[in-house]
Structure 1
Amino acid sequence: MKNIIYKNAVLGIGLLGLVTITPGCKKSFLDVPTQAEQASGTFWVDQNDAAKGVNSIYANLRAWGNTAFPAIAVESMGADEAEKGSSPTDATYFNDYDTFSVNPADGQLSGFWNAQYQNIFLANQVLTNVPKISMDAALKSRYLAEAKFIRALSYFRLVRAFGDIPLRTTVAADASEYNIAKSPKAQVYALIESDLNDAAAVLPQSYLATDLGRATKGAALGLHAKVAMYQKKWSDVLSYTNSVMTLGYSLLPVYDNVFRVAAENGVESVFEIQAALIPGNAAASNSQYSQVQGVRGVTGGGWGFNVPTAALAAAFETGDPRRDATIIFRGETTPQGDVIAATGDNPMYNQKSYVPFSMYVSGFNEGCQQNFRVLRYSDILLMNAEAANELGNSAQAISSLEIVRARARQGNAAILPKVTSTDQTTLRNAIWKERQVELAMEYDRYFDVIRQGRGTAVFGPKGWKANKNEVWPIPQTEIDISGGLLTQNPGY
């Protein structure tokens, strides 16, 4: 595994500003202090340092490797709902993920891997140092719970993408501890669940406006439900989702509004990666999630990657308004009034990452205001429906499924009829279908199909092979740096 002892650890001031600390070392006349850096030897001494340490984790979550090209490659490209987009000759390596022919040396693999381990390092830094600080006890407990939540989130993203992975829970003391072998995925899941149990026991149900976007009890319980779902622990999935359903979440009346900037951190949001346009500070307004997926060839648009497929467009039932809220079609006018040219490189774009062109500010990334939706309440409801059905409770499964379909129906009884079948297989397929259209382009489809055991049936025509493509290859750079301590996944 690559040396994950980051020599310059990014620390946040607030969830959106950045400052850096560096290790303490001997000074010479050649040493010129970097602006806004703070030596680690004078850090981790008070409550303010603890706050900066926790905020550094949130700040890193919106970085390139967590939300842009590496995340698109690893978490989206393999699915039947998305393809490369942009111009035919630009970033052609995305096609290798789409056809399951990716080389372990491809940089997007290591970009994603390193982003998750940097999140984990920053969380471990907090978990190692904050307990030693004399500060408000309740706030200290909350900070540790937030760090555990984000560590769990990053390990979950890693384990479902790569399977067995190195498991690090402390900051390495010296170079002898830099490289560690892979741990079985069962051990990784056990740590994730332990972290989420600890987090849920401490995190508040909500925050005041100044702390919106931090991990909550609902986020910990909701993520735990998803982690349990990937292990087919259906009783746990049902229990955790039932708990989340008592915490005051609800669905916004209009599906399209869920993904607009004005609705961020609203009643449907369980957890989002925070982003913002901060006037006068383009460096801190660094999210490129929307930019890399925005409509190509227009001011305020973007680069045009990760576009919906014809298969996704055809997956929606006739009249389902989520189709137009998920896909920007060439030649249309968006609900926000942006006219999309009838010609161009791509027939469709991801509308969930769209920010109206009028919100573009010169000198800033297009759409840098857009939060990355990690977990929504509709996902909670659909997990609840799936777990209830697997446990033989068709009545609850239908009830939770209907809440999602009713919102999409928007009062039009002629579309999206209520699912009434109590047959377990029929209901299971209906819930899976609902996940496909409700959560389209949200980086879940690829992993959903695999955990459902349908990889060959759904992705086989794209090149997916059983007993290999359930996971991506371990980045070759990590194997090389480890001196062979890390081993490659079978088949690569």
Structure 2
Amino acid sequence: MLKHKNKTAFSFLLAILLLSAQSCKKSFLDVPPQAQQTSETFFTTAADATAAVNSVYANLRSFDQTAFGAIAVESVPSDETEKGSSPSDAAFFNLYDNFTYTSTEGQVFGFWNGLYQEVNLCNQVLDNVPAINMDAALKARYIGEAKFVRAYTYFRLVRAYGGVPLRLHVPADQTQYNIPRNSAAEVYAAVEQDLTDAASVLPQSYSSADVGRITKGAALALHAKVAMYQKKWADVLTYTNQVMGLGYSLFPNFEQMFRIANENCSESVFEIQCQSFPNVIGASTSQYSQVQGVRAQTGGGWGFNVPTTALVNAFEPGDPRMDATIIFRGETTPEGDKVDPVGDNPRYNQKSYVPFTVPFVQNEGEDQNIRVIRYAEVLLMNAEAANETGNSAAALNSLEMVRARARGSNAGILPKVTTTDQTALRQAIWHERQVELAMEFDRFFDVVRQGRGPAVFGAKGFKVGKNELMPIPQSEIDLSGGKLTQNPGY
């Protein structure tokens, strides 16, 4: 299968790279693992650079970044999802649903730790690859790919925790490990610089052997999203307009766009590549789909992160995206799976769904890529920025592209939005983001950046001045000797 051959390019040497920044002191116990290369002798050849960059990609699908940590921090606090699974299984998710989590809860640390492991991998590339004697163009591209991933990782950190320690190099000695928090503005500035650098060197597209690697369009699109969170609307407009000129298009079938057969399609701007690797555990195999899969006797997954009634009610009458986003208990999926009519949960995430018959080595759905940025989101960011800068005509045009794809040939649903009133159009664009991007781990942060946290999440327990951010893990504060400070309210 050709598409799997493309994904196989992302092999990795995580053991060397993850461990190299963890030791503070030497001792007679610091013996390198047998048959493994040490980090000090690793970064010498072009092949080493390739392996190091591939490790950056591979670790993006790690458990903390795509499963429990991400679900707890980025999804369950919203109004569109709740814990799911059986009532007694992983009950800690309920703490995130009702905003009673504390700084010592495991997923607060797990998400933080998973992202900083990713930062470490990026920094090793950025510190060491420039000195390698290799093809200059390939070297520049590898540096751009690592800068994009570091920017993506810090963006997830800053929107979840606010200002965080900004580490742009591998610590050279013990004194450089314990650093204080930077301000959110400083983190955002570093993210934007990395994305500017990445966009300047990354190609617009790749040959078939490298499909799935990060492109110029991905760097521009993520830069637009980062600017949107800072309300830099002119920048959002600039970056999205550039992406809109790069040849992306909406995939005709919304539901099928999320299936394995249509990974890296015309709408894909950035998606995390996932594939089975026999006899390799940990970050090599994704549990993104397994954790969210239909909890059923006939197959599927664990049944976490399930859609709420509020999400069902958010869709306009007849919107086909509802059935393409939500698997209802008792239904038969488009791929022919009969979902049990009884069970713990009335609904499941269809965007992460993999048919029960798809074979796997370790985890159900481990071949399912994770869609991170789609062209539809670029259009909606463009619409929002155009409206905020007073260009309602451009906003309506981009908004209509998204609604037209969803509408298809059924002219009786999803009528065109025609209002030019800025407030009303803003609400229409926000609503379109909710239904178009549902279950894609953005809803909570969208509502917070829009200033609507109390109105939307107040009934769940959201507190103003506190729950806009997650707490800094208490274990990290303790290890810092108090150099790290806690967010308000925790």
CA distance in structure 1 between the partners assigned to 2:281 and 2:63 by the alignment: 15
Q: CA deviation at 1:16?
A: 3.9
Counterpart amino acid of 1:87? Answer: S
Counterpart amino acid of 1:86? Answer: S
Give the TM-score normalised by the residue count of structure 2.
0.95
Is this contact kept in 1: 2:61–2:283, CA < 8 A?
A: no
Aligned to 1:5: none
CA distance in structure 2 between the partners assigned to 1:283 and 1:108 by the alignment: 17
SS in 1 for 2:372: strand
Aligned to 2:482: 484
CA distance in structure 1 between the partners assigned to 2:166 and 2:281 by the alignment: 35
Aligned to 1:400: 398
Q: CA deviation at 1:284?
A: 6.9
Deviations 1:204-246 (A, max 9, x none): 0011122111110000000000000000000000000000001
Deviations 1:302-332 (A, max 9, x none): 0000000000011000000000000000010
Aligned alpha-carbon RMSD (Å): 1.9
Identity %, equivalent residues: 65
Is this contact kept in 2: 1:234–1:391, CA < 8 A?
A: yes
SS in 2 for 1:229: helix
Give the TM-score normalised by the residue count of structure 1.
0.94
Aligned to 1:191: 190
Gaps of 5+ in 2: 1-6
Is 1:15 aligned to 2:7, yes or no?
no
CA distance in structure 2 between the partners assigned to 1:176 and 1:29 by the alignment: 21
Q: Which moved more, 1:280-289 or 1:70-79?
A: 280-289
CA distance in structure 2 between the partners assigned to 1:75 and 1:148 by the alignment: 22
Aligned to 1:34: 34
Q: 1:457 aligns with which of 452, 455, 458?
A: 455
CA distance in structure 1 between the partners assigned to 2:235 and 2:354 by the alignment: 37
Aligned to 1:367: 365
Aligned to 2:111: 112
Counterpart amino acid of 2:369? Answer: N
Aligned to 2:3: none
Is this contact kept in 2: 1:67–1:289, CA < 8 A?
A: yes
SS in 1 for 2:189: helix
Q: CA deviation at 1:297?
A: 2.3
Counterpart amino acid of 2:237? Answer: L
Deviations 1:355-411 (A, max 9, x none): 0011033x4200001111110000000000000000010000000000000000011
Deviations 1:444-474 (A, max 9, x none): 0000000000000000010111111110111
Is this contact kept in 2: 1:225–1:238, CA < 8 A?
A: yes
> Residue 436 and residue 19 in structure 1: after superposition, are their counterparts in 2 closer, same or farther (change >3 A)?
closer
Is 1:51 aligned to 2:50, yes or no?
yes
Counterpart amino acid of 2:427? Answer: N
Q: CA deviation at 1:20?
A: 2.9
Aligned to 1:380: 378
> Residue 204 and residue 92 in structure 1: after superposition, are their counterparts in 2 closer, same or farther (change >3 A)?
same
Alignment of 1:61-460 (within 5 A): 61-278=60-277, 285-361=284-360, 363-460=361-458
Q: CA deviation at 1:299?
A: 4.1
> Residue 389 and residue 92 in structure 1: after superposition, are their counterparts in 2 closer, same or farther (change >3 A)?
same
SS in 1 for 2:82: strand
Aligned to 1:6: none
Counterpart amino acid of 1:34? Answer: Q
Q: CA deviation at 1:41?
A: 2.5
> Residue 27 and residue 116 in structure 1: after superposition, are their counterparts in 2 closer, same or farther (change >3 A)?
closer
Counterpart amino acid of 1:466? Answer: V
> Residue 29 and residue 350 in structure 1: after superposition, are their counterparts in 2 closer, same or farther (change >3 A)?
closer
CA distance in structure 1 between the partners assigned to 2:216 and 2:453 by the alignment: 33
Gaps of 5+ in 1: 1-11
Is this contact kept in 2: 1:148–1:199, CA < 8 A?
A: yes
CA distance in structure 1 between the partners assigned to 2:474 and 2:162 by the alignment: 15
> Residue 310 and residue 222 in structure 1: after superposition, are their counterparts in 2 closer, same or farther (change >3 A)?
same
CA distance in structure 2 between the partners assigned to 1:176 and 1:317 by the alignment: 56
Q: CA deviation at 1:30?
A: 11
CA distance in structure 1 between the partners assigned to 2:330 and 2:358 by the alignment: 21
CA distance in structure 2 between the partners assigned to 1:130 and 1:292 by the alignment: 35
> Residue 272 and residue 472 in structure 1: after superposition, are their counterparts in 2 closer, same or farther (change >3 A)?
same
SS in 2 for 1:480: helix
CA distance in structure 2 between the partners assigned to 1:258 and 1:466 by the alignment: 37
CA distance in structure 1 between the partners assigned to 2:249 and 2:353 by the alignment: 23
